[in-house]
Chain A
Amino acid sequence: GAVVSQHPSWVICKSGTSVKIECRSLDFQATTMFWYRQFPKQSLMLMATSNEGSKATYEQGVEKDKFLINHASLTLSTLTVTSAHPEDSSFYICSAEYAAGPAPVGNQPQHFGDGTRLSIL
C-alpha cells in the first residue's frame, strides 16, 4: 500500500486563491521531504527540500514567497501556493525520505506520493 499520502489529489480553484497541499508519511518518520512540480509531458523538477523544524531550501528560480512550505512534524509537510494564477497549474508531487520508525517496504531512499493536480481558472 501507499507509504506517502498526498492530499488533495486534485483541486480546481479561481485565480487569486491560495491552495494548500499536504504530504504525509504513513507509519514512518521523515525528517526530509521534497516537493516537485511536473508540467504535462515533462520531467519532475525539484522545487524545494523541506526539513522538519527548519526553513525549506528552495531551488533556483522558485519563489519562496509564492510557494510556502511548512514541515512542522516528522510526518507532515505542506505546500501552499499563494495567490495562485493559471501559470501555476501543474502536477505537484511530494516525496518523503525515510528516517526512523517501521521501515516501509522497498528500502528505497525516497517514497513518492501520488501527486496533486492543480488547475487554476
Chain B
Amino acid sequence: GENVEQHPSTLSVQEGDSAVIKCTYSDSASNYFPWYKQELGKGPQLIIDIRSNVGEKKDQRIAVTLNKTAKHFSLHITETQPEDSAVYFCAASLNTGFQKLVFGTGTRLLVSP
C-alpha cells in the first residue's frame, strides 16, 4: 500500500521567513496530493492540493510543487505569520472510486514574532 514520509517533524522560523515542508510517497499510481493544517483540538483543514497532471500550484502565500518522477511534493509558505503556527500534514491518494487518503507524519510549524 501507499506510504507517505514527511520532513521535518518540527520547523521553527521567524515571522516573515519562508517555510518548506517535504513529503515523499511510494505508490506511483497516487494522483492526488492535499496539504492540511491542523490546529490544536480541531480537525484538519485543507489549505492547498495538487493533482498529478500539474507540477505546481499557488494560492497567495502558499504553493505546492510535485515531482512525479521522484515521487515527492513540497509545501512552500512565504512571508510566514504567527497564525501560520500549526501542524501541517501532507497526504496522498489513489482515486479508486473514492479518495482514500494516506497521511504523512506531520510537521509542527512554529512562527515566532
Contact = CB atoms under 8 A, between A and B. Distances in A.
Contacts, number: 49
Contacts of B41: 114-115, 117
A6 interface: yes
A106 to B, nearest CB: 7
Interface residues of B, number: 21
A106 B46 CA distance: 9
Main secondary structure, interface of A, reads: strand
B103 interface: yes
Contact of A46 (B34, B43, B101): B101
A97 to B, nearest CB: 6
Interface residues of A, number: 23
Interface in B9-42: 32, 34, 36, 41-42
Interface in A3-37: 4, 6, 32, 34
B100 interface: yes
Nearest to A51: B98
Interface string A85-113: 00000000101010000000010111011
B105 A6 contact: no
B94 to A, nearest CB: 12
Given A93-B44, A110-B99, A114-B42, A43 B49 contact: no
A46 B100 contact: yes
B52 interface: no
A3 B106 CA distance: 24
A49 B93 CA distance: 14
Contacts of A97: 98-99
A45 B100 CA distance: 11
A36 B101 CA distance: 10
Interface string B94-111: 000011111111100000
Contact of A44 (B44, B45, B46, B99): B44
- Among all A-B residue pairs, the 3 with the closest Cβ atoms: A112-B43, A109-B99, A32-B98
Interface of B: 32, 34, 36, 41-46, 49, 89, 93, 98-106
Interface of A: 4, 6, 32, 34, 41-46, 49, 93, 95, 97, 106, 108-110, 112-115, 117
